[in-house]
Structure 1
Amino acid sequence: MAGSSHGHGHTPAAWTGVIISFIGFCVAGAFMVMANTVGFWAGMVLILGGAVVGGIMKAMGLGADPKPLKMADGPLATREPAGAES
């Protein structure tokens, strides 16, 4: 899996969304430990903002192109169902 080249998440939209969400996670965690409710919810808004920004950037064409899923070739793809034997 480490050598796969299907480009999972390697787009500007994905990187930006994850970085913003990670910063929000750190902010929310820090303010939760400090028992500051307003700061915690500000971090939660940042987390959601990361998802929104990533989605907008993907809609602008900076995300991965959707690719149709392919069926696996091999013995499992050609096997008959267990109840089909006569």
Structure 2
Amino acid sequence: MSSDVEELGEGHSPAAWTAVIVSLLGIAIGTVAFVLDIQWLVWGGAGLAVVGFILGWVLARAGFGVNGSRTQHKEH
């Protein structure tokens, strides 16, 4: 059975991976800082999480997103 539906991908791109990894690192740092009651580091972790999403958006716009001009297309 053939399908004409185009597969959009599941975020498997350098931009998506970078956004998720940097944001998770920020969330982890913020969580540990919250438990240790280090308020400035909690806000630093939150800021890093936001920077991660912005970095992912910038990389996607630069061609490193799904089906971007600078990514390698793999045949499944």
- TM category (shorter chain) comes to 0.7 to 0.9
Runs of 4+ with >6 A deviation: none
Using the size of structure 1 for normalisation, the TM-score is 0.67
**Which whole-Å CA distance do the structure 1 matches of 2:31 and 2:45 have between them?**
8
> What is the root-mean-square deviation in Å for CA atoms of aligned residues?
1.6
Larger Rg belongs to:
1
Q: Letter of the aligned partner of 1:54 in structure 2?
A: G
Residue aligning to 1:47: 49
TM-score norm. by structure 2 comes to 0.76
Structure 2 gap ranges (5+): 1-6, 68-76
How far residue 64 of structure 1 moved from its aligned partner, in angstroms, is: 1.6
Relative contact order higher in (CA < 8 Å, ≥ 6 apart) = 2
Aligned partners of 2:36 and 2:11: how far apart in 1? 33
Aligned equivalent of 1:7:
9
Given candidates 19, 23, 43, the residue that maps to 1:17 is 19
- How far is 1:52 from its partner? 0.5
Percent identical residues: 33
Between the two proteins, the alignment pairs up a number of residues equal to 62
Stretches of structure 1 that go unaligned for 5 or more consecutive residues are 66-86
Cα distance between partner residues in 2 of 1:24 and 1:41 = 9
Residue equivalent to 1:71: none
